[in-house]
Amino acid sequence: MNILVIDSHNMLHRARHGYGQGDHIMTFGFFRSLKSEITKHNADKVFIVSEGYPIHRYRLNPEYKGTRISIKDDGFYRQKDDVFKICSYLPITYIRHPDYECDDVIGYICETANKKDNVTIVSTDSDFIQLLELENVKLWNPIKKKFIEKWPVDYVAWKALVGDKADNVPGIKGIGSKRAFKLLGDKDFFGEFLSNNSNKELYDNCYEQIKLANLDGFSLGLEIKNYKFDEEKLKESFTKRSFKSIIEKAWPKWQDTMEKLNNVNSGYTVN
């Protein structure tokens, strides 16, 4: 089975910069991208994964993601609500944990998927590289339009050393990409580096922020909704928003794709 896992907020932010006019550009862009990815990867099952609030990361670093500029556009939040509402008319599984990020939930899906399943994550977020250690997992970057390669060293350790500006994870001062590779390529050299208590303390803190959380024991908090294909409501939603290129040209393909997914969705769950 081919499982497609969508980093929904990553896709939403890309859709914000789509072409067109009107009040529903982001909504249109999201669903156009979603349909394209389902077709491209020949998906049998689709997860739409949403964000929670990562309490454990803010405990480790109160300034986690503190450099990000909040979105002031009310239209973004209105359209985001629109997108998740319309998703309920598709034969997909919506999944979220209130206390964990989308990344952590995607890691949980990958870890609990049957090893015979092929799992493809759609996201430009490089943190998912750590999941490529799982043999049945691929990471597709929709901007670069290619699958991302496994990292030559432990990705979480490398990023804990260099830091992550996007998430405001500091890393260790003076450690760039090349030096991080050199450190991780020599076990004794790396051990000597961590023998410095201040290096070790900061490294461990950064490592725990970057590493995807283990949801075992917390899976009961997952919000999971298995939706079925509601063709009438989906078509009505697209018509109301004047998505003419879908309704007038692509609707038969949408029908075929969603009917195929509909046969799987009610019977597949994560453990």
Q: What strands, in cross-sheet order, belong to the sheet with 146-147?
A: 146-147, 137-141, 118-122, 2-7, 45-49, 93-96, 223-226
Domain spans, the chain: 2-150+213-265, 155-210
CA dist., res. 122 & res. 209, Å (int): 22
pTM of the model: 0.94
Parallel, antiparallel, or unpaired: how do β-strands 118-122 and 137-141 relate?
Answer: parallel
Fold adopted by 2-150+213-265 = Rossmann fold (3.40.50)
91-146 confidence digits (pLDDT tens): 999 999 999 999 999 999 998 877 789 999 999 999 999 999 999 999 999 999 99
* Mean residue pLDDT across the chain: 92
155-191 confidence digits (pLDDT tens): 999 999 999 999 999 999 999 999 999 999 999 999 9
185-200 confidence digits (pLDDT tens): 999 999 999 999 999 9
